[in-house]
Amino acid sequence: MDESASRLSKAFLRPLRISRFQVWVIRGVFAGLIVGVPLLGFWGAHIAISGHPKPPQCKAVCKELELGVANFITEYESLPAEIESDVTYDLNSPEGLKLLEVLMGSERGTSPLNQKGLRLVDIKEGKGKRGGLIYNATGDAVVGLYDPWGGSYKIQLDGNGDEIIDVRPKAQDQERRLEGRRVAVWSDGAQ
């Protein structure tokens, strides 16, 4: 027993032989732990305070709405609204909800714009007026489309056909001109 204890202690007392590469790997791991863990902590605190990261979900809805309008234009050779000049819709307003119904193929009435009833957008259902479509109590009509922060989406259509849209989301201090576009969609994000 004394001999095995002696061999074990000799094994721990002899110098460790490691290559330069292994030294750099060990240094990299420790540096990553020293720098990375606090950064992850700060990032986690930022998420908890600000409600981010939700822009990917918001961006996907904006892109879906843009593609829906583009597909409507391709299918019917007109905009999904009867307008003569550039118009901005809040998608939670009555006019915005009508536009959303056109894109969803769920218009009611005798002369729908989406005559074929094509569902041109596919947006997930939200919860508690956040993160998607909100339906009425019976589930047969959309009452709002909310971004991940509980705000509404805005959509601007190029009604005059010049393919120039001037938008001004709340986060920007000045108007931004988008050329070569028939539609622009945005959310003002966390307020």
Same domain, yes or no: 33 and 70: no
What does the block give as tokens for 98? Answer: 């009508």
Same domain, yes or no: 143 and 70: yes
Same domain, yes or no: 14 and 104: no
> Whole-model pTM?
0.70
Give the lowest-confidence range in 62-71, 72-81, 131-140, 182-191: 182-191
Number of domains in the chain: 2
Distance in angstroms (rounded) separating the CA atoms of residues 121 and 83: 21
Same domain, yes or no: 46 and 86: no
- Which residue type sits at 189? G
DSSP 8-state class, residue 125: B
Same domain, yes or no: 68 and 149: yes
CB 152 within 8 Å of CB 91: yes
Give the lowest-confidence range in 2-11, 51-60, 66-75, 130-139: 2-11
Range of the domain at 62: 55-187
Q: Tens of pLDDT along 141-169?
A: 899 999 998 999 999 999 999 999 998 88
Same domain, yes or no: 42 and 60: no
The last residue of one of the domains, among 10, 32, 50, is: 50
Distance in angstroms (rounded) separating the CA atoms of residues 36 and 43: 10
Same domain, yes or no: 29 and 104: no
Same domain, yes or no: 62 and 45: no
Same domain, yes or no: 68 and 155: yes
